[in-house]
Amino acid sequence: MLLRSGLLIVALLMGQHALAAELDQQINQIYDRFVTAYQTLDASPLMTQYRDDACMMGVSEKDGFFTGKDEIEIAYQRWFDRIKAREGAIDIRFRVISRQTQQQRVTDAGFYLIRYSPDNEHHQAATEFAGKFIMNFQHDQDASWQISIDSASRVKAELFHQAVAQEGLYFAAPFTIMAATPNQP
């Protein structure tokens, strides 16, 4: 009887671990979609990740909160369009350091690192800036996870680099160091 109870407990724990791993994978895929949106400078695919009533805190000191998918998409696309107008490119990396799960909600905390690369004609170096974020996901009726709250603020890049990986959580490698290219006449 004791052996049977022990096996049942082990089976339950293994089942919980498998469910946690599946949840981690589902949430982590959302970060991959952010990376793609930043690389392509297209906000529209991100909008499937946000709830209709989502709220996003603007990172700029000039911005307040953006409420609803339409406002959030406009905010992202306005920024992406400024990058396009300069013929530049951006990329983003995330490092999730904490994930809390409660029934139909998941809250992630972590750091992001963004690299802006100007067009080659300007002979300027790429620049990086970092921030911290808290993102709240909600499980909807269609069994997908969507962002309900998205908040971020700037921090020193060292904090991104000092973050420690946590098992199962999204944790991207930093950008590679770019080699200097000699000036050519």
Determine, yes or no, domain membership for 23. Answer: yes
The pLDDT value recorded for residue 2 is 52
Determine, yes or no, domain membership for 181. Answer: no
* Domain CATH for 49: 3.10.450.50
Q: What is the pLDDT of residues 131-166, one digit of tens each?
A: 999 999 999 877 799 999 999 999 999 999 999 999
Determine, yes or no, domain membership for 167. Answer: no
Determine, yes or no, domain membership for 38. Answer: yes
Determine, yes or no, domain membership for 176. Answer: no
Categorize the per-residue pLDDT at 4 as very low, low, confident or very high, splitting at 50, 70 and 90.
Answer: low
Categorize the per-residue pLDDT at 122 as very low, low, confident or very high, splitting at 50, 70 and 90.
Answer: low
> For the chain, what is the domain count?
1
pTM, 2 dp: 0.83
What contacts 154, CB < 8 A, 6 or more positions away? Answer: 59, 129, 130, 131
Determine, yes or no, domain membership for 107. Answer: yes
Q: What is the pLDDT of residues 10-28, one digit of tens each?
A: 443 444 557 789 999 999 9
What is the C-alpha to C-alpha distance for residues 99 and 30, in angstroms, rounded to an integer? 14
Encode 36-88 in three state secondary structure. Answer: HHHHHCCCHHHHHHEEEEEEEECCCCCCCEEECHHHHHHHHHHHHHHHHHCCC
Determine, yes or no, domain membership for 78. Answer: yes
Structural domain of residue 77, as residue ranges?
Answer: 2-162
Determine, yes or no, domain membership for 67. Answer: yes
